[in-house]
Amino acid sequence: MRAILTPDVAINTGIVLLKPGRDLIPMFRERVLVCTMPRDMSHLPSGLINDSSQPLLDAPTLKAFFADDRVIAAAGGWEIHDAWVQKISACQYQEKDSYHHQHYTTLRTDVGSLCLCYSCDNYCRSNGMPGILEAVAAGNLARWVIESACLQMGLGPDHQMTLPELCWWACVKDVIDLIPESHARSVLRMPKPLSDTGPMPEALINPLPSAQQLIQEAADSVKQILTISIDPESPHSYMARPKRLRWSNEKYTRWVKTQPCACCRKPADDPHHIIGHGQGGMGTKAHDLFVIPLCRAHHDELHRDPTAFEDKYGSQLELLVRFLDHSIAVGVIG
């Protein structure tokens, strides 16, 4: 247990007087080391701080992230968290000086679970939860989420998780939208958003994606995003004149936009849906699978004159087959 304490009086006599307060008094029942403030803790306020083995526990803006139900489910769920707390095997209500039973149980709260002896568990259920235990329960939950994330990423339970690693885990578990924008910007080394400067002409408004969206798009570009299912007994296949069903997948077309242009290899701007060749007629836009990445210049050139475009760069079908082969080869289509 560590704490930052503010000296009360001068040091010219060689004596420093500290006021730990009621919450920190239990620390002084054992030996305490008083040292100069470490530079990496200079931004923290006075009071109890978390174990430095996990610096993310000291970020107050991450508390809501660790306590979110979606994050808890991604880490394994409440039942797994309760089992983790049970392994503490020590009563966490150390402020209570009364008798502590030799057996322990788990008490779940809205902010996390606690390991308590039978005596303290009965006391809390009868008299309500003391405020200090709510902070302990929230700390248990945050520690468990971090440890579970480390294990799921193959880093080991004692690994000191960094903010970029936490953001990557959040991407994999589809909870990146819960990471505070300030932390996501820090990971991407993006500047802080500009403050409101008053009215702005509509023509000058250029909405930018949030840091969470940028991280998610980067994750989508390297992990498998499309799985095709086969139904040989589709009900529509038995109809004499089945209604045409158009296959759409925004996740796939969003990934296509991140690939090089099929003509010039420069960054693409659009996922072009094949036109002609029996595709793209009136009210029959091609399926989202039949797309190729094109920059804005070549996309405009194709729509101005498809025949001239194909004479210059090759058939759209040939470009499509090459791109589909690439998508399957890199594991995007599985």
Range of the domain at 253: 247-329
Average pLDDT over residues 190-215: 60
pLDDT per position as a tens digit, 70-123: 999 999 999 999 999 888 888 888 765 666 777 888 888 888 898 888 888 888
Q: What is the pTM of this model?
A: 0.50
Whether residue 68 is found in the same domain as residue 19: no
Would 55 be classed as within a structural domain? no
Pair of tokens at residue 199: 């009215």
pLDDT per position as a tens digit, 210-264: 766 776 666 665 555 566 777 777 777 777 777 777 778 888 888 888 889 999 9
Those residues with Cβ within 8 angstroms of residue 67's Cβ, 6 or more apart along the chain or in another chain: 111, 112, 138, 141, 142
Whether residue 66 is found in the same domain as residue 122: yes
Would 301 be classed as within a structural domain? yes
Whether residue 6 is found in the same domain as residue 89: no
Whether residue 253 is found in the same domain as residue 317: yes
pLDDT per position as a tens digit, 66-77: 999 999 999 999
pLDDT at 10 over 50: no
Inter-helix orientation angle 211-220/163-172, to 10° = 60
Q: Which residue has the higher pLDDT, 33 or 144?
A: 144
Would 166 be classed as within a structural domain? no
Which domain-ending residue is among 161, 195, 229? Answer: 161
Q: Which residue has the higher pLDDT, 312 or 14?
A: 312
Whether residue 98 is found in the same domain as residue 128: yes
How far is residue 269's CA from residue 306's CA, in Å, rounded to a whole number? 18
pLDDT at 319 over 70: yes
Which domain-ending residue is among 131, 161, 191? Answer: 161
Instruction: Share the mean pLDDT of the chain.
Output: 78
Whether residue 68 is found in the same domain as residue 137: yes
> With pLDDT > 90 as the criterion, what percentage of the chain qualifies?
14
DSSP assigned state of 18: B
Average pLDDT over residues 40-66: 72
How many independent structural domains does the chain possess?
3
Q: Can you give the pLDDT at residue 81?
A: 93
Q: Can you give the pLDDT at residue 72?
A: 93
Q: Can you give the pLDDT at residue 111?
A: 87
How far is residue 198's CA from residue 206's CA, in Å, rounded to a whole number? 15
Whether 144 contacts 84, CB under 8 Å? yes
Q: Can you give the pLDDT at residue 9?
A: 44
Which domain-ending residue is among 161, 187, 203? Answer: 161
